[in-house]
Amino acid sequence: MKKILLASTSTLYNGSYLEYLLPTLEQHFENVKTLLFIPYAQPSGISYDDYTTKVGEAFAKINIQVKGIHEYENPADAIKNAEGIFTGGGNTFLLVSKLYENHLITVLKETMAKGTPYLGTSAGSNIGGRTMNTTNDMPIILPPSFDTLGFINFNLNPHYLDPIEGSTHMGETRETRIAEFHKISTIPVLGLREGSWLEIYGDNVILRGDLTARLFRAGEFAVELAPSENLNFL
């Protein structure tokens, strides 16, 4: 049975890294003593070692040790043997490129299908969708494919932002960008606001957190989904 959390962000405003999620993570990873961390997205260019240290400091608060996938000679075996896995945020293009380079897409899919608990934040959540095409990130590198893990039957737009009333910003809104995506694809897209996450246990896909999420489907008006709603209809 799949046991997956896909969070919009790792950090809320004025909060420390993963602070708001720690009570949930303590239950999600309840049988995990050592967590495998995938630091490939490298936010702000942080090194793998420094990123892993940062994650380790957060998980130490719930008595879980963290080891980076880059510390293993064979990353595929590290995934297969992991007690639990966390893929952090950063640049989705870079993350997906590294996963393909190390031949990890298929092994991640197979391992998660067997029930190894998984956490993704931001870019690490983006890859849980069918494709990475609705990421917010700059294309700093070209992956071999935009196809990702398909834990859910739709795409995510983490850090989803609503238009700000009265703003003089002339650039495209997130809603505009998603509408552009739906000119060439029928894959539904969920705009996941800060502090929200998806809980995917078995066939259920439950929206968690205090905020609604915005669902976009090609040729239809966007709708708001309430916390605790099951998105398995998608």
Query: In this predicted model, what pLDDT tens digit does every residue of 165-189 receive, in sequence order?
Result: 776 766 688 999 999 999 999 999 9
| Per-residue pLDDT band at 6 (split at 50, 70, 90) | very high
Q: What is the pLDDT of residue 225?
A: 98
Q: What is the pLDDT of residue 165?
A: 74
Cα–Cα distances in angstroms (integers) from residue 41 to residues 14, 73, 78, in the given order: 23, 19, 18
Residue 146 burial by Cβ neighbours in a 10 Å radius (0-12, 13-18, 19+):
middle
Reported as a single tens digit per residue, the pLDDT across 47-99 is: 999 999 999 999 999 999 999 999 999 999 999 999 999 999 999 999 999 99
Task: Answer yes or no: is pLDDT of 164 > 90.
Answer: no
Tokens of 163: 């238009």
Of the chain, the percentage scoring pLDDT greater than 70 comes to 98
pTM comes to 0.96
Assigned CATH class of 3-225: alpha beta
Catalytically annotated residues = 122, 137, 159
Q: Which of 56, 63, 117, 122 lies closest to 88, judged by CA?
A: 122
**Torsions phi, psi for 55 (to 5 deg):** -65, -40
**Every domain of the chain and the residues it spans:** 3-225
Sheet arrangement for strand 223-225: 155-158, 189-192, 213-216, 223-225
